[in-house]
Amino acid sequence: MDVRIETIDEIETARIRHVGPYNEVGRCFERLFEWAGSIGGQPGRVFSLSYDNPDTVAPESLRSDACLELRVDVTPPPDITIDTLAAGRYAIHTHRGPYDGITEAYRHLFSVWLPQSGEEVDDRPCMEIYRNSPLDTPPVELLTELCLPLRRLPEA
């Protein structure tokens, strides 16, 4: 598994909370893009934040945020939160292929890569950065960066 460690700078976001199976977050992205378009916003990166382990939390209780990188000076509707995702270190693996392979790729990151890496998981959510869109990309060519949050290195 090809994994690199990078620091991702803070990201100004518009986000909508989704509770339910991770693969059903698409409706939240549709709503975000609709709202961003209505205010003339120009979204940057498209990503999601995942808060729960699907192996230990029931599908109907999984929490995730659909996110757009977006700078706005308007008050959003009640279902959309505007805030800043803090910078942090991540182990990043680029998953190529359908989204239904993401869960297994995360399992590999946590069960194989992490124990051998000498790194520790931080308490921030996992992040998936979508590098292309299923609207115009065949499933086998989808690129998703799986970002596992890592603790900061100790100060020297």
Question: Tens of pLDDT along 21-37?
Answer: 999 999 999 999 999 99
Sign, Cα dihedral of 114, 115, 119, 123? positive
Alpha-carbon distance 28 to 99, whole Å? 16
DSSP type of residue 61 = G
> Mean pLDDT across the chain, nearest whole number?
94
Among residues 84, 100, 81, the alpha carbon closest in space to that of 35 is found at 81
pLDDT of residue 43: 86
Residue type, 33: F
pLDDT at 121 over 80: yes
Query: What confidence tier does 154 reach under pLDDT thresholds 50, 70, 90?
Result: low
pLDDT surpassing 70 at residue 3:
yes
Question: 71: pLDDT confidence band, cut at 50, 70 and 90?
Answer: confident
Q: What is the pLDDT of residue 37?
A: 94
Give residue 1's pLDDT.
82
Helix (H, G, I), strand (E, B) or coil at 39: coil
What is the C-alpha R_g of the chain?
16
User: 3-state DSSP call for residue 16?
Assistant: strand
Query: Quick one: pLDDT at residue 89?
Result: 97
> pLDDT at position 124, please?
96
Least confident of 6-15, 69-78, 88-97: 69-78
Strand ranges in 46-111 using DSSP code E only, listed in sequence order: 46-50, 63-69, 81-85, 88-96
* pLDDT for residue 155 is more than 80: no
CA 62/CA 50 separation, integer angstroms: 8
